[in-house]
Amino acid sequence: MSTRPEILFPLFAALTNLAGVGPQIAKTFQQLNVTKPRDLLFVLPHSGVDRNIRNSIREVNPPEVVTVEVEIGLHHPNAIKGRPYRVTVQDAQTSFQLVFFHARADYLRKSLPTGQRRVVSGKVEIFDGVAQMVHPDHILRPDQAESIPAYEPVYPLVSGLTQKTLMKASQAALDLARPMAEWIEPSLKAERKWPDWKPALERAHRPQSVVDLSPYAKHRERLAYDELFAHQITLALARARIRRLKGVVSIATGALQSKVLTTLPYTLTSAQERAIGEIADDMAAPLRMNRLLQGDVGSGKTLVALMAMLTAVEAGGQAVMMAPTGILARQHLQSIRPLAESAGVVVEILTGSDKGSERDAKLAALKRGDIHLLLGTHAVFQKDVTYHDLRLAVVDEQHRFGVRQRMDLGGKGRAVDVLVMTATPIPRSLALAQYGDMDVSVLDEKPPGRKPVKTVVMPKTRLDEVIRHLKTAISEGRQAYWVCPLVEESETVEWTAAAERFRSLRLALGDDRVGLVHGQLAQVEKDAAMAAFVAGETRLLVATTVIEVGVDVPNASIMVIEQAEHFGLSQLHQLRGRVGRGAKASSCLLIYSPPLGDAAEKRLAAMRETEDGFALAELDLKLRGAGDVLGVAQSGLPRFRIANLETQSDLMKTALDDARLLMGTDPELASPRGQAARNLLWLMEQDQAIRMISVG
Ligand code: ADP
Ligand code: MG
């Protein structure tokens, strides 16, 4: 497995092996991410030109491409310098002119002899009332006319490349592709009526009509499926590898869990109960857990995580929970510690700001097993952090970590069960693409009694009004967040803006009532600001997006977002999710600077219309495209060349099921179909997967 199958060698050889591709053109191809013949196979034409032979140019509406047989008439060389060379021609019904700029007269006389017949193909247009065809794409003798494709593919181009070069190169690449053993499950292929791989490619590159260019055409669908299937095999391999690793059996006794549950002022939602059960089953099994907990903001993921961690402790072990920021880690500490301590469970926190002897003491206690639950940032996974008996790692707000990092975490060699929690609902197709290696629990229900958040969109010109409104609200004992503009180019500008807004709001609302938190503050300052807000000492918290994820202050019921038009939908949804958590009616004010762009207007309107995180996520995907929603670089999600995640989520689901089925029946990819799947992995450059099977 560790070497590429021979059948693929020609496709992975130098691009310059192809007819018509020299070093210069090969370099130009790089702009299309094409570095070898294989890449050309997956650059598909986006449209086509109809070159069926017509009787006369009268059959089309200029400007339009037409192919007709003509009799060559008189030549009109360019008498005046700078004027084009013209040749009058006559088709079955009418005459028109062929036009050439910078023409070589001797060449034109030879290729267009007066009195003879030729087939010409090109765009006819009307110029000064006369029909003309400037620089025909094809000029051929009638007996050669068959060499013009009746329907000619049109490829995406970059400057320095012509259609002809690209078409020739991709036809040459196509010739290098050999038929391969089928990797798609036979019944699926039959049911979908998909062609074999090679014919599918041929049809894609030699379309017969516009119908063949549709993403729903059978051959295109098949090629898209190949891409998704290869990706899902990689994820299924990762999943199988983790599951094959022996896990620790952690059996819940329920003793600690029930103690904590009795101290809660509420009962679990049925979604929470279900998720807790699924996690407990995984932890009790001798396999390693690799589970995703997905739930909208405010659905109560933290409590589910706590129950899972208590299971680890009940079984005599330890658990760790990692959050993306210190603020969140501290907040987890605040909500979890009192609950855990009521059951005699010891909780500690470890972040980057722990230093010196205090840190040493914590590490020692952790190693002895005196700390049961550790909360923190990445600091909890530093090299010198050793656990007495770590059973469970919880990763909160996972969307900041990608497939790759997750594999790293799993690869640390500990037989630790892993529970990952996403803060952001993501569309199904993306969830499958990104988390296909995991088992999924969904919290699809919010705790009862939540009041809807009233969302208002208003222009910046009404800022004074907003501040007056805030003043009243605050004097009534309410609390509010004020989120400052996101400035992507410069973090410095971002926090300066926050600091400035902080000053002006203090002037308006009173010095001691306004707090400030942003990424540039020292940890102690951030902590102090958060603590004062949680305690209700400050009533308004001015912040940058550091409060985007996870922060939970139930008394806060107003969210103001400045320059809301700059935020993505899921981010706005996250921010709004900070309010609406308590008993009071909440509101969210989205402030924008007019004029609003089209997409921004749609986003803000969607925010006003729905609080359903999944609906917003689907819309976000439509407005922005898959790469943006996840942040491709971070997520490790491949850019698919043919498949479209926005429209082909059903294919992704099928690919996931099929990949898992294949792994279930043939984990070594040793059967004939397994071997074919290996070829697919090589073809699709799934290095990670290839490495995984190589090491076994
Ligand atoms: P998220 O899923 O966004 O992380 P949290 O875990 O922060 O949500 O929970 C949001 C709020 O809901 C917290 O204040 C938490 O105490 C509360 N909560 C959690 N579960 C329930 C429940 N079953 N009933 C009522 N409130 C709950
Ligand atoms: Mg949370």
The whole-number pLDDT of residue 650 equals 84
DSSP classification of residue 450: P
> Are 599 and 520 in the same domain?
yes
Which ligand gives the minimal distance to the CA of 294?
1
Q: Which of 548 and 564 is assigned the larger pLDDT?
A: 564
> Are 181 and 326 in the same domain?
no
3-state secondary structure of 382: coil
| pLDDT per position as a tens digit, 420-455 | 888 767 776 677 777 777 888 989 888 887 888 999
Q: Whose CA is nearest to atom 9 of ligand 1?
A: 300
The whole-number pLDDT of residue 479 equals 95
The average confidence (pLDDT) of the chain is: 87
| pLDDT per position as a tens digit, 484-540 | 875 555 556 666 678 888 999 999 888 789 999 887 778 788 888 888 998 899 999
| Span between the terminal Cα atoms of the chain, in Å | 10
Which ligand gives the minimal distance to the CA of 553?
1
Residue 141 inside a domain? The answer is: yes
CB atoms within 10 A of CB 201: 22
Neighbouring residues of 306: CB distance < 8 A, sequence distance ≥ 6? 260, 336, 339, 340
pLDDT interval class at 414 (50, 70, 90): low
What residues make up the domain containing 413? Answer: 255-443
Beta pairing, strands 586-592 & 540-543: unpaired
The whole-number pLDDT of residue 104 equals 86
Site to substitute for ligand 1 among 269, 273, 302, 375, most atoms within 8 A of C-beta? 302
The rounded Å distance from CA 445 to ligand 1 centre is 11
Give the integer Cα–Cα distance in Å for 649 and 204: 21
The whole-number pLDDT of residue 633 equals 38
Q: Write down the residue that tokens 């087939």 correspond to.
A: 119
> Are 315 and 401 in the same domain?
yes
**Ligand 1 atom having least distance to the Cα of 443:** 2
Q: What CATH number did the domain enclosing 87 receive? A: 2.40.50.140
- Ligand 1-lining residues (CB < 6 angstroms): 266, 268-269, 272, 295, 297-303, 447, 550, 552, 554, 581
The rounded Å distance from CA 681 to ligand 2 centre is 37
The whole-number pLDDT of residue 413 equals 45
> Are 427 and 457 in the same domain?
no
The rounded Å distance from CA 572 to ligand 2 centre is 16
Query: Stretch 466-493: mean pLDDT, rounded?
Result: 81
The rounded Å distance from CA 298 to ligand 1 centre is 5
The whole-number pLDDT of residue 403 equals 57
Q: Write down the residue that tokens 């952090």 correspond to.
A: 385
Which ligand gives the minimal distance to the CA of 580?
1
| pLDDT per position as a tens digit, 568-627 | 888 888 889 889 887 788 999 999 988 988 888 999 999 999 988 888 888 887 777 655
Residue 642 inside a domain? The answer is: no
Q: Whose CA is nearest to atom 23 of ligand 1?
A: 268
Give the integer Cα–Cα distance in Å for 339 and 266: 13
Give the integer Cα–Cα distance in Å for 4 and 12: 9
| pLDDT per position as a tens digit, 47-104 | 999 999 999 999 999 999 999 999 999 999 877 777 899 999 999 999 999 999 988 8
**Ligand 1 atom having least distance to the Cα of 295:** 2
Domain final residue, candidates 443, 473, 489? 443
| pLDDT per position as a tens digit, 104-119 | 889 999 999 999 999 9
The whole-number pLDDT of residue 377 equals 86
Domain final residue, candidates 394, 422, 443? 443
> Are 120 and 169 in the same domain?
no
Q: What are phi and psi of 72, to 5 degrees?
A: -75, 130
Site to substitute for ligand 1 among 303, 306, 574, most atoms within 8 A of C-beta? 303
The whole-number pLDDT of residue 145 equals 86
> Are 497 and 601 in the same domain?
yes
The rounded Å distance from CA 60 to ligand 2 centre is 62
| Cβ atoms of 447 and 455 closer than 8 Å | no
- CA angle at 367 for the pair 363 and 371, rounded to the nearest 5°: 80
Residue 667 has pLDDT above 90, yes or no: no
The whole-number pLDDT of residue 496 equals 67
The whole-number pLDDT of residue 635 equals 45
The rounded Å distance from CA 302 to ligand 1 centre is 7
> Are 129 and 180 in the same domain?
no
Residue 219 inside a domain? The answer is: no
Q: Whose CA is nearest to atom 18 of ligand 1?
A: 300
Residue 677 inside a domain? The answer is: yes
> Are 329 and 347 in the same domain?
yes
Q: Pick the most confident of 478-482, 483-487, 663-667.
A: 478-482
Give the integer Cα–Cα distance in Å for 80 and 72: 23
Residue 380 has pLDDT above 70, yes or no: yes
> Are 63 and 178 in the same domain?
no
Residue 29 inside a domain? The answer is: yes
Helix (H), strand (E) counts: the chain: 25, 22
Total count of domains within the chain: 5
Q: Whose CA is nearest to atom 25 of ligand 1?
A: 447
Q: What CATH number did the domain enclosing 595 receive? A: 3.40.50.300
Which ligand gives the minimal distance to the CA of 297?
1
Residue 78 inside a domain? The answer is: yes
Site to substitute for ligand 1 among 552, 557, 573, 584, most atoms within 8 A of C-beta? 552
> Are 128 and 238 in the same domain?
no
> Are 282 and 422 in the same domain?
yes
The rounded Å distance from CA 258 to ligand 1 centre is 18
Query: Stretch 297-326: mean pLDDT, rounded?
Result: 92
Residues of the chain above pLDDT 70, percent: 91
Instruction: Identify any residues that bridge with 295 across adjacent strands, giving them in sequence order.
Output: 443
| Cβ atoms of 350 and 374 closer than 8 Å | yes
> Are 165 and 93 in the same domain?
no
CB atoms within 10 A of CB 621: 23
Q: Write down the residue that tokens 């339009």 correspond to.
A: 64
Residue 619 inside a domain? The answer is: no
The rounded Å distance from CA 431 to ligand 2 centre is 18
Domain final residue, candidates 581, 610, 639? 610
Residue 261 inside a domain? The answer is: yes
